[in-house]
Every structure is written in C-alpha cells, then in structure tokens.
Structure 1
Amino acid sequence: MKLLLDANISWRIIKIIENTFPNCLHSKDIDSAQPAKDNEIWKFAKNNNFTILTHDEDFEKLLLLNGVPPKVIILKTFNQNTKQLAQTLIDKKAIIESFILNNELMILEIY
C-alpha cells in the first residue's frame, strides 16, 4: 500500500504511520522543484503506483479530468495535529486498504 503524501501534510507523519502503511513517501522527497506542484505529484503517483493522500480538493478535479490512476484520498480532518491525523489513518487502515484494492473506486474522503 503505497501512499504519496501531499505537501499540505507534514512529512513527520510518515515516522508514525510507517509500520501500518509501509512504502509511504512525502512529496518533498520526489524529484521535482519544491514544493512539488499538484501536477508533478499526480504524474509521480501515476508513474510509480502511489495513492495520493491530501487535504487539497484540487486533486479531485485532477481525478475528474484525468481519471485513474492514481487514486486519491482526501482528508477532511480539520484541526487535527500530526499525531491525531496519524491515529485517524491507522484507525481507518481497513477502509483505506479496501479502497485501494477496489478497482471501481477513485476517491475516498476520510472524516
């Protein structure tokens, strides 16, 4: 389960969730000018089989324009700090896994 975290999510979260979500990567670590633009993140995720994890609804528009892959998970978890957000993701692991494995789904919103 490969998640690519958008720039609007702290890179520090990877250390907390890496046991639950191995192979996570932050957009700061991809080969592009930083901060990486949405289109660059999209292209990297598509070419490397990642699911994008973001707070940014612009990825929903890219998804509607371009289709899948990649899939997109939009976090609607307002006012959560990094530890709280990490725990939300860990708690939702089964839902996230199911979403990624289901070829009929393109977008997942997590509250």
Structure 2
Amino acid sequence: MKLLIDQNLSHRLVKPLQDQFPGTEQVRRLGLTDRRDATIWDYARRHDFVILTQDEDFADLSSLRGAPPKVILLRTGNLPTAQVIALLRNHRRLIYTLLDSDGEVNCLELA
C-alpha cells in the first residue's frame, strides 16, 4: 500500500515510511501542490494511492465518490514528523486490514 501524502503534511514523511508503505509519495514532490483536491483525488485513483491527509475535504470526497482512492484522515492536529511516523507505524496493521479489504471502509480516521 502506497500513500499519497497531502500538502498539509511534510514531505519528510516519504523516506521513513517507505519500509512499511513502499511507493509512498507527497504531492509537493509530484508537482501537485497548486492543484485542486479533485485533481489530487484523480491522481491518487489513477496511480493506486491511499491519500494521507488532515484535510476533511478528502473525507467528504470519499463519502461522495467512494473508493478508490481510500483516505486516511489524521485528526491529530499538527504533530512533529516523528510523531506522525510513529502513529502510522503503530496503526499499520489496522490501516492494512481496513483499507486493503474490499469492505465498506473508504476513509479511516486516526487520532
């Protein structure tokens, strides 16, 4: 499972998350920072990404459009990069279980 990290989260997350989420990228590194949410959504869908964000608009898109892509919505407020990494690693099994399934979970909220 590869993550597409939204612009509201640091590009410094990409490298440390590669071991558990290979292929992870960040919108700034892909030149998508000045794009609308719908454009980022479509990019994630076409390239098999799960969107990692703090932007509730992606949760709304998930409700409206369904998956793919699926969304991980961080409801943690601003955290240092190391804490975001720890949060994702600590919830890795949950992330893979819920988002890899063909079930009804299109948006996973982590706090």
User: TM-score with structure 1 length normalisation?
Assistant: 0.91
Aligned to 1:7: 7
Aligned to 2:73: 74
AA in 2 matched with 1:13? L
Is the counterpart of residue 62 in structure 1 residue 55 in structure 2? Answer: no
Deviation at 1:37, TM superposition (A): 2.1
Pairing 1:40-51 to 2, within 5 Å after superposition: 40-51=39-50
User: Quick one: distance in 1 between partners of 2:78 and 2:4?
Assistant: 21
Aligned to 1:23: 23
SS of the equivalent of 1:74 reads: strand
Deviation at 1:31, TM superposition (A): 5.0
User: TM-score with structure 2 length normalisation?
Assistant: 0.91
Question: Contact conserved, 1:52 with 1:71, CA < 8 A, in 2?
Answer: yes
Aligned to 1:107: 107
Q: Would you say how many aligned residue pairs link Structure 1 and Structure 2? A: 110
AA in 2 matched with 1:58? D
Q: Which runs of 5+ in 1 are unaligned?
A: none
Deviation at 1:99, TM superposition (A): 1.6
